[in-house]
């Protein structure tokens, strides 16, 4: 079996300013047209005072970081295909507003070489350094068929 492709402590980050178009495109793709995201008048009367981004949009940004980790490994010519097994303990801790810049940090926290899995801790901060979301992510590293046949 090949050496594991990531190690505990490996970290990637992704930053993006959330624009109004991000929110409308996401709302259109998902059908989530909640007033929280697309209705200024409705949100002007809320605790937040203005529209907030979809929490699940932040999960999409988390996925971007997962892809970055996978691409780094694939660039080394690895003999496995990384696939996502899912996100756990997702929490949206604070609002993300239009024009906020979020930074997602994805850090390998655990490796299970027997299961061929890695677990990562994810944090999302806004431009003020406030923690707005967290999650954990599991990647499985699946042996490629040609490599598996050669090993038989």
Domain assignment of residue 120, yes or no = yes
Average pLDDT over residues 60-89: 93
Instruction: Give percent of the chain above pLDDT 90.
Output: 85
Which CATH number fits the domain that encloses residue 91? Answer: 3.10.129.10
pTM of the model: 0.90
Does the pLDDT at position 59 exceed 60? Answer: yes
Calpha distance 138→130 (Å, rounded): 25
Domain assignment of residue 93, yes or no = yes
Calpha distance 62→104 (Å, rounded): 6
Q: How many domains does the chain have?
A: 1
Domain assignment of residue 143, yes or no = yes
Q: How confident is the model at residue 78, as a pLDDT?
A: 86
Lowest mean per-residue pLDDT among 7-21, 79-93, 105-119, 133-147:
133-147
């Amino acid at each position: 079996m090949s050496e594991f492709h990531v190690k505990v402590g490996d970290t990637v980050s992704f930053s993006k300013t959330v624009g109004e178009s991000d929110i409308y495109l996401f709302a259109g793709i998902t059908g989530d047209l909640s007033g929280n995201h697309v209705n200024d008048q409705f949100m002007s009367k809320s605790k937040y005072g203005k529209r907030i981004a979809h929490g699940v949009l932040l999960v999409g940004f988390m996925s971007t970081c997962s892809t970055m980790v996978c691409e780094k490994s694939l660039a080394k010519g690895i003999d496995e295909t990384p696939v996502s097994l899912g996100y756990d303990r997702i929490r949206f801790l604070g609002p993300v507003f239009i024009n906020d810049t979020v930074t997602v940090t994805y850090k390998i926290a655990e490796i299970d070489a027997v299961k061929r899995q890695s677990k990562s801790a994810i944090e999302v901060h806004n431009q003020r350094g406030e923690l707005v979301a967290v999650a954990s992510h599991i990647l499985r590293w699946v042996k490629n068929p040609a490599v598996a046949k050669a090993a038989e």
